[in-house]
C-alpha cells in the first residue's frame, strides 16, 4: 500500500498479463480476456476487507460456523470501457447490483462529460466498486465519486488496471478516503491526455472499434 489508500498489486500473474495487455499486437479477443483476468485479480484484492457475518451451515456431516458477506455491494462500471471488467466481478460477487454511469471524453479539453446516469437517489449501497480500466487525468473518477457520495455511499473503491501518476495524485488528494486498486502506475500523460506508456484506448481495444486519432 502507498499513501492515501492507493493499493498497487505486486504479483507475477499481474505483471505477466499486463505485458500482453500493453502489446499493440494483442488481438481484441485476447485483450478482452486479459482485461477480465486482471479485473478478477484486482477484484479479489479490493474486496479482502468487505464486512462479514457469521452463519450456521449444515454440511453433509454436521453443523458448522461459516462467514458470508454482510454488505450491499454495487458494481459501477464507467461506460464504456468499464463494461469489460463487470463479468469477472459478478463471478466473484454474483449478488452485487450493477449501476451504469456513462461518460465521454471531450477531445478538445480531455475532460469527461456525463451522458448517462442510472444511479438511484436513495437506499445507497454499503460499498461501491467503480470499474474503469484506465485512470488517466482523474476527471472521470472525480465525477463518479461525487455522484456516489450524493447517493450516500460511504465506502467507495476504484478498480483500474493502469493509472497515470498525475490522475492518481488528483484522486488521492481530493478524495483521501477513497481506496484505489491498480495493477500498474505509469508516470505521465501525453499531450492528448493518454497514459504513457499505457496501452492506448482501452474501450477501442476491448470492443475492436477504430482507434481515436
Q: Is residue 201 flagged as an active site residue?
A: yes
Helix (H) or strand (E) holding 135: strand 134-135
Maximum distance among all Cα pairs of the chain, rounded to whole angstroms:
65
Nearest to 159, CA basis, from 68, 78, 69, 49: 78
What's the CA gap between 134 and 105, in Å, rounded?
Answer: 13
- Which member of 109, 146, 150, 208 is catalytic? 109
Nearest to 41, CA basis, from 15, 21, 19, 67: 15
- Number of continuous H segments (helices) and E segments (strands) in the chain: 6, 13
Q: Is residue 204 flagged as an active site residue?
A: yes
Q: How open is the CA angle 21-166-19, to the nearest 5 degrees?
A: 15
Q: Is residue 109 flagged as an active site residue?
A: yes
- Which member of 47, 80, 105, 147 is catalytic? 105
DSSP state of 208: T
Burial class (CB in 10 A: 0-12, 13-18, 19+), 193: middle
- Which member of 80, 132, 201, 205 is catalytic? 201
What's the CA gap between 162 and 198, in Å, rounded?
Answer: 7
- Which positions are annotated as active-site residues? 105, 109, 201, 204
Amino acid at each position: 500500500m502507498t499513501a492515501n489508500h492507493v493499493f498497487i498489486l505486486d504479483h507475477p500473474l499481474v505483471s505477466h498479463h499486463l505485458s500482453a495487455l500493453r502489446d499493440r499486437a494483442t488481438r481484441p479477443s485476447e485483450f478482452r480476456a486479459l482485461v477480465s483476468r486482471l479485473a478478477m485479480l484486482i477484484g479479489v484484492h479490493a474486496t479482502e476487507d468487505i464486512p462479514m457475518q457469521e452463519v450456521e451451515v449444515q454440511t453433509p456431516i454436521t453443523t458448522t460456523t461459516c462467514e458470508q458477506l454482510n454488505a450491499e455491494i454495487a458494481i459501477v462500471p464507467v461506460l464504456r470501457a468499464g463494461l469489460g471488467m463487470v463479468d469477472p466481478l459478478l463471478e466473484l460477487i454474483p449478488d452485487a447490483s450493477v449501476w451504469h454511469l456513462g461518460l465521454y471524453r471531450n477531445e478538445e479539453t480531455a475532460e469527461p462529460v456525463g451522458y448517462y446516469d442510472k444511479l438511484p437517489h436513495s437506499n445507497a449501497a454499503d460499498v461501491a466498486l467503480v470499474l474503469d480500466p484506465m485512470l488517466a487525468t482523474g476527471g472521470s473518477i472525480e465525477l463518479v465519486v461525487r455522484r456516489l457520495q450524493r447517493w450516500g455511499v460511504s465506502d467507495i473503491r476504484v478498480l483500474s488496471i493502469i493509472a497515470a501518476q498525475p490522475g492518481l495524485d488528483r484522486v488521492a488528494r481530493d478524495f483521501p478516503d477513497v481506496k484505489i486498486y491498480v495493477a500498474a502506475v505509469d508516470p505521465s500523460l501525453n499531450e492528448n491526455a493518454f497514459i504513457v506508456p499505457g496501452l492506448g484506448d482501452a474501450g477501442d481495444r476491448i470492443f475492436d472499434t477504430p482507434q481515436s486519432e
